[in-house]
Amino acid sequence: MIVCSLIVVSVWNLKDYQARIEERQTLQWFKGKFKDSMNYAYLNREEVKVVVDSKYLQFSNGKSQIKRNLPKTLTLNSGHQVFRISRSGETAPRTVIFESTLTNKKYEYTIQMGWGEIVEKT
């Protein structure tokens, strides 16, 4: 009985750990991909479209598209958003807010006007 209890607790903790890692990787991916897209748009003089949806994140330009599904434990609080990074590498200001049902934390990303620096608040 004790062994079974230890196994169940270990498996539960492992799933929780994996979900936390998946959340962290997704948020880091979003922030990194946004910065990469700003640089790409500026250097290649090509517009980038960004879609932030309740189920996925997507970055696309004239040549490629990359999409990542949100983990089940991460929800979008700021609503569906579609915005563009101009060929000069600029974008309008906006805020993207995710909330973790696992940790009950809010992750707020503020995109500044103009050169579009992305600032993370947790």
Q: Which CATH number fits the domain that encloses residue 86?
A: 3.55.40.10
Instruction: Give the model's confidence band at 15: pLDDT under 50 very low, under 70 low, under 90 confident, else very high.
Output: confident
What does the alpha-carbon distance between residue 8 and residue 109 come to, in Å, rounded to a whole number? Answer: 36
Tell me what pLDDT residue 74 has. 96
In this prediction, what percent of the chain has a pLDDT beyond 70?
A: 89
Three-state secondary structure string covering the chain: CHHHHHHHHHHHHHHHHHHHHHHHHHHHHHHHHHHHHHHHHHHHCCCEEEEECCCEEEEECCCCEEEEECCCCEEECCCCEEEEECCCCCECCEEEEEEECCCCCEEEEEECCECCCEEEEC
Tell me what pLDDT residue 7 has. 55
Q: What's the predicted TM-score (pTM) here?
A: 0.85
Q: How many structural domains does the chain have? A: 1
pLDDT digits (tens, 9 = 90+) for 28-83: 999 999 999 999 999 999 999 999 999 999 999 989 999 999 999 999 998 899 99
Residue 67: domain span: 2-121
